[in-house]
Amino acid sequence: MNYNKADFQASYGLSSQLPDSDRPEFVFSGRSNVGKSSLINKLCNRKNLARVSATPGKTATINFYTVDTAYFVDLPGYGYAKVSNADRRRWDELINSYFDADRNRMLLVQLLDSRHMPSADDLQMLEYLQYRQIPFVVALTKADKLKKSEIEPTKQRFAELCEGYGCSAVILTSSEKGTGIPELQALFEQCLQQ
């Protein structure tokens, strides 16, 4: 996959608007502010392909990017305290209908903040992925904020937890430093070759 051939395609706020499933898809999921857009930018070696928000909860749409022959799908973040019940329902509806649709999903990257224990929303998302049997890996984000001595214990702790949900790999990432980017790209290539 040529990551330099990346373009924003469109944002979808309604599941009925989703584009045809005409390419393999890599999906990015995680709570608001965990670093989904930043990771997509880093994977594609770009500064502003995906909008990085200073205010969490801004991305309330599913954003599609074309990356060479694949799609990157940036799911709306969850867990933002200030959303209304109506917005929450809309999020549920959008996510469910995306996963209900028969699409060529290759792999989902579930982002978790490496500095914190997973939130209740994170655990609910992990349960959802397991329940729907969605193949996924975990990217632990913002690893540049960890002390050196925290790196191994953090990886260990998350690996034990995530394995229980059917996660196939846990990768430490930093969109600031580029940590974990080659590992994620290698996993994507593996999926495409299967």
Site residues (vs Mg ion, CB under 5 A): 36-37, 59
| CB within 8 Å of 83: residues ≥ 6 apart | 57, 91
**For residue 49, how many C-alpha atoms fall within 13 Å in the half-sphere facing its CB?**
26
Output the smallest distance, CB 126 to Mg ion, in A: 20
By C-beta, is 58 or 157 nearer to Mg ion? 58
- Residue 32 binds to ligand GTP (criterion: CB under 6 A): yes
CA distance 37 to 66: 14
- Residue 35 binds to ligand GTP (criterion: CB under 6 A): yes
**Number of residue whose CB is nearest Mg ion:** 37
By C-beta, is 80 or 188 nearer to Mg ion? 80
Neighbours of 103 (CB within 10 A): 19
**Which range binds ligand GTP by CB under 6 A, 2-10, 150-158, 159-167, 169-177?**
169-177
CA distance 49 to 68: 14
Q: From residue 156, how far is each of 67, 102, 181 by CA, in Å?
A: 32, 35, 19
Both tokens of residue 40? Answer: 């997509």
Q: Which of residues 143-162 bind ligand GTP (CB under 6 A)?
A: 144-145
Tell me which long-range contacts 98-102 makes (C-beta under 8 A, separation of at least 24).
Answer: 98/15, 98/18, 98/62, 98/73, 99/132, 99/134, 101/15, 101/18, 101/21, 102/21
Which partner in Mg ion, ligand GTP, none is near 175 (CB below 5 to 8 A by kind)?
A: ligand GTP
Output the smallest distance, CB 175 to ligand GTP, in A: 4
Name the 3-class secondary structure at 131.
helix
CA distance 151 to 159: 12
By C-beta, is 29 or 114 nearer to Mg ion? 29
- Residue 53 binds to ligand GTP (criterion: CB under 6 A): yes
- Residue 114 binds to ligand GTP (criterion: CB under 6 A): no
Both tokens of residue 143? Answer: 């690893």
- Residue 141 binds to ligand GTP (criterion: CB under 6 A): yes
Kindly tell me which residue out of 174, 180, 187, 188 binds ligand GTP, with binding defined by CB under 6 A.
174
Which partner in ligand GTP, Mg ion, none is near 32 (CB below 5 to 8 A by kind)?
A: ligand GTP
Binding interface with ligand GTP (CB under 6 A):
30, 32-38, 52-53, 56-59, 77, 141-142, 144-145, 174-176
